Structure 1
């Protein structure tokens, strides 16, 4: 088997394990706070939000740092750094004795995190360019599958072994996934040690002055912001629609799961389609399709209609991030791919932070049905912005070519 294929399959399974392990603990943080002695419901809600968000805040700040370092020392070592680092921090989280300790450990976890973006960078740089869309789509399928299974497995384990034991198990699974990467994944395309490297801020300034990348980073932010904004309100919306049999939690989870399932099925197919016909085309039409499928969700009358629309939505979502990552690989300067992915990851983390906060605020004013329409509008603006940025680059490239021809 070719090295890039072996790396891809191993990293896909590792992403499944890591995302499954991480998503096992996220839904139960409020309950873990109760176990730590916090009984006031208002304080529990406040601290749950802080503990959830602080992880994204530190990850947002440090993603460019780790990306820049990866271009200097290698991408594989960044996967190992993140995997072993998270395994240690999550193990310590299971020993937390107070909400403050839990908050600080989540802050530290975001600081050392980066297994997923480092895996994306490693896959993108060590895969033939004509296969990168398919590879990144398959990689996303592994992560999405883990995020679907994780909450279900975590819920079962919480009843059987308790919350603290879930942290220890999560740590062990991430440690195992990282050991597999250490033993079996090989990095063939490594940073060239002869290339002169600038400082972190100089390299960051250079990347941020690449107009196509700047457009793609802003599109990544808009995508993530729009997709996660309605998520915290979904269980309330299912309750409003009237869950069959009164099983609100089950159907709220199912609404999320069917989107993830469709995403997982569509990602490799749309990635391969992007390799053949252009990732920018797949990303543009996926954004349009996602935007249009949010509109009828504002008028659904029951949970079954919502489930059908969310499944169709997931099919379009499967073309978003793999295509975006493929385009970043295409437009990133040689030798600075991981730096570009670092800033892209930072932009998506910012969307993860601001999306739920803004969505919650807007829901209080216009309701979740109105939020679906706002989300649709934002994605349409994002598609227009993407088209504008890529067309500008094509015009610039044509002008530079015509100048060279005329001067010759």
Structure 2
């Protein structure tokens, strides 16, 4: 088997295990806080929100730093750093006895995190360019599958073994996945040690002055902001529609699961289309498709209608992040691919943080049905912005080529 394929399959399975482990804690985080003595429901929800978001906040800050280091010392070592670091932190989380300790450990987890973006960077730089879309789509499938099954597994295991044991199992799973990467993944395209390296801020300034990348970072932010804005309101919407048999929690989970399942199925196929016809086309039409399926969300009258639309939406979502990551790979300066992915990850995390907060605030004024329409509008704006940015980049490249020809003459 070709090295890049072996790496891909191992990293895909590792991402599945890591995402499963990381999302296992989602169903019982408020219950874990109650076990620590927080009995007031309002305080429990407040602490749960702060603790859950803390991980994204510190990861948002650290992603560019780890990306820059990956370009200097290698991508595989960054995967190992993150994997073993999270193993230790999550094992310690199982020993936490207060909300403050839990908050500190979640912040620390965000600091050492980065398994997923480091895996993406390692795959992108060690895969032939003509296969990058397919490879990144496969990685997306592994991560999404893990995020779907994780909460179900975590909820079931919490009932059987208790909350603290879940953290010990989670840390063990991530550690084993990292050991497999250590022993089996081979990084063939390593950073060039002779290449001149600048400081972190100088390299960051250089990346942020690359207009094609800056456009893509803004698209990634807008994409995640729009897609996640309605997510916290979905259980309430399912309850409003009237869940069959009154099983609100079950159908709220099913709504998320069918979207992820469709995403997982579509990602590799849309990645192949990106390799064949261009990732920018896949991203553009996937955004328009997602907008098209969000609009009827505002008019559904039953959970079954919502489930169908969420599945169709998931098919479009399968082409979003893999196509975006493929475009970043194509536009990143040679030797600075991981730095570019670091800033891209920060933009995505920022969208992950601000989207649900803004959506929750706006839903009080326009309801979740209005929020669906607003999300569709944001995705259409994002698709238009992508098309405009790609056109500007093409014009700039044509102008540069014309100037070069005149100079040579």
TM superposition score category, shorter chain reference? over 0.9
Instruction: Give 1:12's aligned residue.
Output: 12
Trace 1:228-267 onto structure 2 (pairs within 5 A).
Answer: 228-267=228-267
**Per-residue CA distance 1:28-74 (angstroms, 9 max, x = gap):** 11111001110011111111110011110000000000000000000
TM-score, normalised to structure 1's length? 0.99
Distance in 2, Cα, partners of 1:368 & 1:139: 31
Cα displacement (A) at 1:399: 1.1
* Matched residue, 1:401: 401
- In the aligned structure 1, how far is the partner of 2:296 from the partner of 2:229? 17
CA distance in 2, matches of 1:129, 1:272: 12
Task: Name the structure 2 match of 1:279.
Answer: 279
Distance in 1, matches of 2:202 and 2:26, equals 36
**In 2, Cα distance between the equivalents of 1:99 and 1:81?**
26
1:142 matched to which residue of 2? 142
Matches within 5 A, 1:206-355: 206-355=206-355
Distance in 2 of aligned mates of 1:184 and 1:403: 48
Instruction: Quote the Cα distance in structure 2 between the aligned partners of 1:271 and 1:181.
Output: 23
Return the alpha-carbon distance in structure 2 between the equivalents of residues 396 and 353 of structure 1: 34
* Structure 1: 4+ residue segments shifted above 6 A: none
Rounded to whole Å, the distance in 1 between the matches of 2:397 and 2:355 is: 35
Residues of 2 paired with 1:23 and 1:360: CA distance?
Answer: 22
Instruction: For residue 224 of structure 1, report the CA deviation from its aligned partner.
Output: 0.7
Q: How does 1:6-405 map to 2 (within 5 A)?
A: 6-405=6-405
Q: CA deviation at 1:223?
A: 0.8
Alpha-carbon distance in 2 for matches of 1:198, 1:405: 31
> For the aligned residues, what is the CA RMSD?
0.6
TM-superposed CA distance for 1:292, in Å, is 1.0
> Which deviations, in whole Å up to 9, do the C-alpha atoms of 1:94-115 show, x marking residues without a partner?
0001000000000000000000
- CA distance in 1 between partners of 2:132 and 2:315 (Å): 19
**CA distance, structure 2, for counterparts of residue 159 and residue 28 of structure 1:** 10
**Which secondary structure does the structure 1 equivalent of 2:25 belong to?**
helix
Post-superposition CA distance 1:72-127 (Å, at most 9, x none):
00000000000000010000000001000000000000000000000000000000
How many residues of Structure 1 are paired with residues of Structure 2 in the alignment?
Answer: 408
Q: Please state whether the residue corresponding to 1:295 is helix, strand or coil.
A: helix
Q: What are the ranges of 5 or more consecutive residues in structure 1 without an aligned counterpart? A: none
Q: Which runs of 5+ in 2 are unaligned?
A: none
SS in 1 for 2:301: coil
